[in-house]
Every structure is written in structure tokens, then in C-alpha cells.
């Protein structure tokens, strides 16, 4: 039982990271109906910005962990958001009224471009980071297997929940959120009632990039090593999470991320770790067979 609880904690932590990335996919699809396959690379860039910022803080002698993590998170969100904004302006806005296949091919091209861009700037070797936050809580020490909940895992879970609450309030309670929901309903009608559609879509990309940046920071601190290729597999899994939960649904994206994280955690614990990705994608196939819209997705209703 202790081993099961430990894997549950590990799976939830990983699922939180996938969920934050999946939100970017589901937001873009919900508004403009396109899949941003370069979003995984935005996550990767966020991880690299984080490690560079940590190194710069070390050079300047800022060693108090709470302050350092806060500075890194804010810096990473701001700089990575610039990449999200540029991606929308360069790759998506000119193709907004083109066939969706053109935007899909462009997104794949931008994904490859970002991978090679980071590889040229940072090199192909992995980049390690010493543990920033150590220690944690230990439970059931009298048992054969001790349950460990690290301070870093607590930070990841709490920070993700806070971001989700703030994000939900922005979507449901602000003028920006109303504009985003209007664009999701009908871009043409939203423009007719005075909503700046271009600005709303740009801000949506920026928000998605900021969430991916936080996920990149969490990934870096959790695993302690990154390279230019981490965005591909993480992006595919986050896209899987978005589809599994119901693409276009923000709660569905987080739910899908948690499910993918739990599937990977438990499969790695009780079966062979080499097939954990196969298990995650197999669950996706089964869900789409029996519920094509995902767990929380709603079928599109075409009005005539």
C-alpha cells in the first residue's frame, strides 16, 4: 500500500506538468481550431530560459531559494511568452484563413526550427542543474517502504493549483476571458461586436506560453537535466492529455494531464518502464473509440 501511495504522488506530480502544457494546446484549439504542434518546443525553451536564469543568479550571488525560484519563474514566463507571441505573429496569423493543413505543416516546421535553434545556441549535450530544493516529508517510517513527499513535489502541486485557480478566474470573470469565449464561439461575430480578435488570439498564445514556461521550470527542477529534444515527447504527451480530457476544455486538459501522469507512474512501477508511453497512448485510443470527444469534451453542434 505504501508503494502504491508513493507512485500516486509521483504520478500526480508528473501529471501536473503535463496538464500545464496541455492547457496551451486546448486554448489555441478552442479559439482558432488549430493544433499548435510547436507548443512542446515552447515548453523546452522555457526550461532552457530557467536554467540560464538560475546560472545568472548564481553569478550575482542570489542564493536564497524562495527568491531565486520566484525570479526564475517570472523571468521564464516573460521571456517564453515573447516566443509564444512571435510564433502566433509569424506562423499562425498569416495562415488563419488558409486551409488547416497549411497551418499544421507550418506548426511542425516551427517545431523543427525551435529544436535546431536551441541546439545551435546551447549545444546538443544535456544541461544539468544541481538540486535547488531538497528535503521533504516522510511517512510510515516504521513500515518496510517509506512514503516520501518532497518539498519540490509540494511546490509543483500547490503552484499548479494556484495557477489553475487564477487562470479560471481570468477566463470566467474578466473582460479578456469574455473576449476569449466570444472568439471561441465565432471569430467573425466577435469582430463585429467590437472585440479585437487579433489581440485576443495573441494574448491567448502568450498565456499558453507562460503556462508552458512554468511547466518547463518544474520539469527542470524535478529531473535536473534537459536537452533540446525534451519538448517533442512532452508535447506529444501533453497533446494526448488535451485530447484525452476533451480538447477545448480547460478542466479536461488538466484531467487528461493527471491521467497520463498516473498511467506512466503506475505502469513504470508495476510493469516495465520501456512501455509506459505505449500504455498512455493505448488508453487514449480506447477513450477515443468509446468517447470521441474525450472525457469532458462536448460534441460540436452545427447550427443550420
Residue 99 confidence (pLDDT) = 83
Decide if 299 is inside a domain. no
Residue 47 confidence (pLDDT) = 95
Listed range (73-82, 119-128, 256-265, 291-300) with the worst mean pLDDT: 291-300
Residue 112 has pLDDT above 70, yes or no: yes
Q: Which three cell numbers stand for residue 3?
A: 508503494
CA distance linking residue 195 with residue 202, whole number of Å: 13
Decide if 52 is inside a domain. yes
Decide if 87 is inside a domain. yes
Domain total in the chain: 1
Residue pair 84/36 in contact by the 8 Å Cβ criterion: no
Residue pair 276/264 in contact by the 8 Å Cβ criterion: yes
Residue 246 has pLDDT above 70, yes or no: yes
CA distance linking residue 244 with residue 27, whole number of Å: 15
Q: Which residue has the higher pLDDT, 1 or 135?
A: 135
Residue 304 has pLDDT above 60, yes or no: no
Residue 168 confidence (pLDDT) = 84
How far apart, in Å, do the first and last CA atoms of the chain sit? Answer: 55
Question: pTM here?
Answer: 0.91
Residue pair 198/61 in contact by the 8 Å Cβ criterion: no
Share of the chain above pLDDT 90, in %: 40
Decide if 304 is inside a domain. no
Q: Which three cell numbers stand for residue 130?
A: 544541481
Residue pair 94/194 in contact by the 8 Å Cβ criterion: no
Q: 41-50, 146-155, 170-179: which has the highest mean pLDDT?
A: 41-50
Share of the chain above pLDDT 70, in %: 97
CA distance linking residue 284 with residue 105, whole number of Å: 23
Q: Which three cell numbers stand for residue 63?
A: 542564493
Decide if 303 is inside a domain. no
Listed range (13-22, 113-122, 293-302) with the worst mean pLDDT: 293-302
Q: State pLDDT tens for residues 63-77.
A: 888 999 999 999 999
Decide if 188 is inside a domain. yes
For 84-107, the three-class secondary structure string (H helix, E strand, C coil) is HHHHHHHHHHHHCCCCHHHHHHHH
H-state helical runs in 123-226: 151-173, 175-185, 187-192, 197-223
Residue 274 confidence (pLDDT) = 81
Residue 219 has pLDDT above 90, yes or no: yes
Positive or negative CA dihedral for 200, 204, 205, 207?
positive
CATH classification at residue 117: 1.10.3470
Q: State pLDDT tens for residues 161-217.
A: 998 888 888 888 899 889 988 888 888 888 888 899 999 999 999 999 999 999 999
Decide if 302 is inside a domain. no
Decide if 143 is inside a domain. yes
Domain that holds residue 129: 2-290
3 state DSSP class of 1:
coil
Average pLDDT over residues 131-160: 85
Positive or negative CA dihedral for 98, 104, 109, 110?
positive
Q: Minimal CA–CA distance to 103: which of 203, 3, 36, 183? A: 36
Residue pair 276/268 in contact by the 8 Å Cβ criterion: yes
Listed range (94-108, 133-147, 159-173, 289-303) with the worst mean pLDDT: 289-303
Amino acid at each position: 500500500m505504501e508503494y502504491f501511495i508513493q507512485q500516486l504522488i509521483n504520478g500526480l506530480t508528473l501529471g501536473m506538468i503535463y496538464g500545464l502544457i496541455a492547457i496551451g494546446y486546448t486554448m489555441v484549439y478552442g479559439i482558432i481550431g488549430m493544433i499548435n504542434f510547436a507548443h512542446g518546443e515552447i515548453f523546452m525553451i522555457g526550461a532552457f530560459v530557467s536554467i540560464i536564469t538560475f546560472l545568472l543568479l548564481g553569478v550575482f550571488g542570489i542564493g536564497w531559494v524562495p527568491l531565486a525560484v520566484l525570479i526564475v519563474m517570472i523571468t521564464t514566463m516573460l521571456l517564453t511568452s515573447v516566443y509564444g507571441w512571435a510564433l502566433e505573429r509569424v506562423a499562425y496569423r498569416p495562415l488563419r484563413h488558409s486551409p488547416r493543413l497549411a497551418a499544421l505543416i507550418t506548426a511542425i516546421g516551427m517545431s523543427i526550427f525551435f529544436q535546431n535553434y536551441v541546439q545551435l545556441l546551447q549545444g546538443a549535450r544535456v544541461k544539468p542543474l544541481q538540486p535547488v530544493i531538497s528535503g521533504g516529508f516522510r511517512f510510515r517510517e516504521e513500515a518496510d517502504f517509506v512514503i516520501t513527499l518532497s518539498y519540490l513535489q509540494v511546490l509543483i502541486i500547490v503552484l499548479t493549483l494556484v495557477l489553475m485557480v487564477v487562470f479560471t478566474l481570468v477566463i470566467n470573470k474578466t473582460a479578456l476571458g469574455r473576449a476569449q469565449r466570444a472568439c471561441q464561439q465565432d471569430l467573425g461575430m466577435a469582430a463585429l461586436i467590437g472585440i479585437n480578435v487579433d489581440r485576443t488570439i495573441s494574448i491567448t498564445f502568450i498565456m499558453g506560453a507562460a503556462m508552458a514556461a512554468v511547466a518547463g521550470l518544474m520539469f527542470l527542477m524535478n529531473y535536473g537535466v534537459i536537452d533540446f529534444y525534451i519538448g517533442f515527447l512532452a508535447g506529444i504527451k501533453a497533446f494526448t492529455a488535451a485530447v484525452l480530457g476533451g480538447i477545448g476544455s480547460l478542466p479536461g486538459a488538466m484531467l487528461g494531464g493527471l491521467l497520463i501522469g498516473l498511467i506512466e507512474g503506475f505502469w513504470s512501477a508495476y510493469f516495465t518502464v520501456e512501455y509506459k508511453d505505449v500504455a498512455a497512448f493505448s488508453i487514449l485510443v480506447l477513450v477515443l473509440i468509446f468517447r470521441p470527444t474525450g472525457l469532458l469534451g462536448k460534441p460540436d453542434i452545427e447550427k443550420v
